[in-house]
């Protein structure tokens, strides 16, 4: 009797301890949300680039160059005899203002003041970080950043809204090289 009871308990353990099976989904999505998002972003990017090209063509006195990083720039004052540009870890001082594509100033140089930045070691929106690497001390450059190189989808929580391309006029004052 004890053997039979023991066999029944063991059989119940083996048969009753089966792993639960996941229920198959009722609706299968094949990435349609991602595809829709990609198409929507392509359309927004196309519209934004058309606006930027229109702004560039309105600056008939300035020849804007496209950068490898997806923005455009023009040297208002260029230093020819110096070859030092900021590198990783260099400390720089710069001033800048920010405007929208219609030329409405969002932040002025006076309001922002002189900014200090350690290259690639602190937070800065990607377009400006990449643009500063093109500059030499005492140069003044006008940058046109598409929204994804500026504050993107989130804006800056103050005056720059969602997906706003920016025009920034930047003056690089000093470069203190990192000797490490």
Chain mean pLDDT for the chain: 89
Position 27 pLDDT exceeds 90: no
- Does residue 149 contact residue 67 with C-beta atoms inside 8 Å? no
What does the pLDDT read at residue 29? 63
Pick the CATH number of 64-176 from 3.30.110.40, 3.30.460.10, 3.10.50.40, 3.40.50.720: 3.10.50.40
**Residue 30, pLDDT score:** 63
C-alpha to C-alpha distance for 73 and 44, rounded to whole angstroms: 21
Q: What are the E-state strand segments in 31-165?
A: 65-66, 72-77, 91-99, 105-107, 115-118, 140-145
170 pLDDT tier (thresholds 50, 70, 90): very high
> pLDDT at position 19, please?
64
Three-state DSSP state, 34: helix
Instruction: Report the predicted TM-score, pTM, of the whole model to 2 decimal places.
Output: 0.79
Lowest mean pLDDT among 31-40, 64-73, 142-151: 31-40
What's the whole-number mean pLDDT along residues 149-170? 92
pLDDT over 90 at 110, yes or no: yes
Residue 135 pLDDT greater than 90, yes or no: yes
Domain boundaries, the chain: 64-176
């Amino acid at each position: 009797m004890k053997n039979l009871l023991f066999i029944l308990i063991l059989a119940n353990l083996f048969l009753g301890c089966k792993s639960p099976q996941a229920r198959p989904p009722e609706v299968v999505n094949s990435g349609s949300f991602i595809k829709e998002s990609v198409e929507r972003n392509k359309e927004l990017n196309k519209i934004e680039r058309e606006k930027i090209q229109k702004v560039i063509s309105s600056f008939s006195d300035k020849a804007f160059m496209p950068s490898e990083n997806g923005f455009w720039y023009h040297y208002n004052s260029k230093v020819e005899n110096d070859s030092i540009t900021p590198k990783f870890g260099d400390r720089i001082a710069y001033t800048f203002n920010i405007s929208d594509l219609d030329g409405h100033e969002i932040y002025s140089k006076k309001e922002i003041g002189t900014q200090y930045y350690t290259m690639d070691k602190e937070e800065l929106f990607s377009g400006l970080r990449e643009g500063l690497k093109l500059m030499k001390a005492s140069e003044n450059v006008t940058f046109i950043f598409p929204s994804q190189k500026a504050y993107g989808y989130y804006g800056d929580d103050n005056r720059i809204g969602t997906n706003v391309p920016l025009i920034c006029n930047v003056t690089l004052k000093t470069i203190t090289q990192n000797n490490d």
